[in-house]
């Protein structure tokens, strides 16, 4: 459907651009196409011949390979040339369909261009331009401007050749003009033709520009590339967010937590050096207990930011750890299936990409938090299976149900986080229960074993 809409839009766009564009701009656009196309043809033949000859000694192979990218600069120039026949007050160049390399450097640029369809489409356009389009532009210019201009110049042509006494002239090689009255009549006819053919000239130039835009800046490609770039940007943001979480967890674990441990030990030793029952001993005991509570809270905070058990032992151990800390009794079942319909067979899950493990773990944490706060459940069950390249986690509880993502349960943000990984979040929780939260994330097992306990 999208392709059909683009095709239907081309004639309308050409008709729109044919209005309000000066004929001289249309003629200049086509003349530029003739000169550029002829130059591309000559240069392409020379470089191809040189590359073919040098390929006998292997020196021409890089040159022939570089010709595959010849369409990139030609297309960039063509996207700017169409501004000549754009009737808008402030025209802008047709957008480039190419993506920006994620890493700097010429090798990254070449690798990306080789994978893009736009590169090969631009090369095909360049070949078509050099062999077909510019001769067609030349033919249209000759019929709409050159021939009428020669008719308009009939009196001057007759005078330059010596006048009627020299046998007359043939303007545009059409008919013999032997007298000045016939020459002036021919000039008048040429002027009428020049004015009459101005509209067809503009229409052809507009259609030619629309054809260029269609091949070199298709709207479907723009939308697809923009969507792909947004997806990649979201993935990069998630990776950066996860890296920042790990950094904060590491700084708290190795910095603030160790200082609190040292402070707790110092206070404990100080209590041994004061008389029992004294006012100072009571203050030291209070400070010691408060430091212990702060240390416990900090450990819980670190575990909530990025649990060490997830990084060291994988998703199976992290899910079991989260279940042990739940206020509702939770049964866990895991499995590493090998085919469709494989269930939880008790084997640990394989190590998965870090972003997948983190998203899955926090989905389980969010589900258990909601169960403890809102469901009124007496028991829950977590089933996690990785099979056929998909991680599926189901969290079941026998609570009252009636889950509503709009009530601030955090499910909306969790769904957005899973969407970055092409994952899905499904919640089935009718009033009266039970509630089943399902997470599916397509992923392959990562080549990193879990740490030994």
Between 129 and 406, the more confident residue is 129
The percent of residues in the chain predicted with pLDDT above 90, rounded, is: 3
- C-alpha 169: how far from chain center: 63
Is the pLDDT score of 12 beyond 50? no
- Mean pLDDT for all residues in the chain: 76
Please provide the size of the chain in residues. Answer: 453
Q: Is 349 exposed, middle or buried (0-12, 13-18, 19+ CB in 10 A)?
A: buried
Query: Could you report the per-residue pLDDT of 372-387, keeping only the tens digit for each?
Result: 887 788 889 999 999 8
The DSSP call for residue 100 is P
Which pLDDT belongs to residue 452?
42
CB 334 within 8 A of CB 346: yes
Query: Could you report the per-residue pLDDT of 23-33, keeping only the tens digit for each?
Result: 778 888 888 88
Under the banding of pLDDT at 50, 70 and 90, the label for residue 447 is low
Mean pLDDT, range 221-243, rounded to an integer: 61
At what angle are helices 23-54 and 71-81 packed, to 10 degrees? 180
Helix (H) or strand (E) holding 424: strand 424-428
This prediction's pTM? 0.45
Is the pLDDT score of 339 beyond 70? no
CB 87 within 8 A of CB 16: yes
Neighbours of 99 (CB within 10 A): 16
Query: Could you report the per-residue pLDDT of 249-295, keeping only the tens digit for each?
Result: 666 666 777 787 888 888 888 888 778 878 887 888 888 888 878 87
Distances (CA, A) of 303 to 104, 241, 297: 37, 16, 10
φ/ψ (deg, to 5) at 169: -135, 165
Mean pLDDT, range 61-83, rounded to an integer: 82
Which pLDDT belongs to residue 23?
78
Report helix, strand or coil for 332: strand
- C-alpha 328: how far from chain center: 43
| Helices marked H in 85-218 | 106-115, 117-128, 134-141, 147-152, 154-160, 180-196, 198-216
Which pLDDT belongs to residue 117?
79
């Amino acid at each position: 459907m999208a392709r059909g809409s683009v095709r239907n839009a081309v004639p309308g766009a050409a008709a729109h651009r044919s209005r309000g564009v000066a004929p001289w701009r249309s003629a200049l656009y086509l003349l530029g196409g003739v000169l550029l196309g002829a130059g591309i043809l000559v240069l392409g033949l020379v470089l191809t011949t040189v590359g073919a000859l040098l390929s006998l000694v292997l020196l021409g192979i890089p040159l022939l390979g570089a010709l595959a990218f010849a369409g990139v600069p030609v297309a960039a120039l063509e996207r700017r040339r169409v501004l000549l026949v754009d009737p808008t007050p402030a025209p802008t160049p047709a957008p480039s369909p190419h993506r920006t390399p994620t890493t700097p450097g010429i090798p990254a640029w070449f690798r990306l261009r080789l994978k893009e369809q736009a590169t090969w489409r631009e090369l095909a356009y360049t070949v078509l331009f050099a062999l077909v389009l510019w001769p067609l532009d030349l033919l249209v210019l000759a019929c709409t401007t050159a021939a009428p201009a020669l008719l308009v110049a009939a009196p001057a042509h007759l005078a330059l050749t010596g006048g009627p006494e020299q046998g007359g002239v043939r303007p545009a090689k059409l008919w013999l003009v032997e007298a000045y009255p016939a020459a002036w009549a021919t000039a008048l006819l040429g002027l009428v033709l020049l004015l009459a053919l101005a509209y067809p000239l503009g229409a052809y130039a507009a259609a030619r520009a629309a054809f260029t835009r269609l091949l070199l800046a298709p709207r479907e490609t723009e939308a697809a590339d923009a969507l792909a770039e947004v997806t990649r940007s979201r993935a990069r943001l998630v990776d950066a967010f996860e890296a920042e979480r790990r950094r904060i967890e590491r700084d708290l674990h190795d910095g603030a937590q160790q200082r609190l441990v040292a402070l707790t030990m110092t206070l404990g030793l100080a209590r041994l050096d004061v008389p029992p029952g004294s006012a100072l001993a009571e203050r030291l005991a209070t400070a010691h207990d408060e430091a212990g509570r702060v240390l416990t809270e900090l450990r819980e905070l670190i575990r909530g930011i990025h649990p060490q058990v997830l990084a060291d032992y994988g998703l199976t151990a992290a899910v079991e750890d989260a279940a042990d800390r739940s206020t509702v009794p939770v049964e866990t079942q895991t499995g590493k299936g090998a085919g469709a319909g494989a269930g939880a067979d008790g084997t640990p899950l394989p190590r998965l990409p870090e972003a997948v493990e983190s998203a899955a773990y926090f989905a389980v944490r969010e589900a258990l938090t909601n169960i403890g706060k809102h469901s009124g459940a007496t028991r829950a069950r977590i089933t996690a299976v990785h099979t056929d390249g998909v991680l599926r986690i189901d969290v079941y509880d026998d609570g009252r149900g009636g889950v509503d993502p709009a009530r601030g349960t955090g499910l909306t943000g969790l769904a957005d986080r899973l969407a970055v990984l092409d994952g899905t979040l499904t919640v089935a929780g009718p009033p009266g229960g039970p509630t089943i939260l399902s997470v599916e994330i397509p992923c392959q097992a990562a080549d990193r074993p879990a740490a030994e306990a």
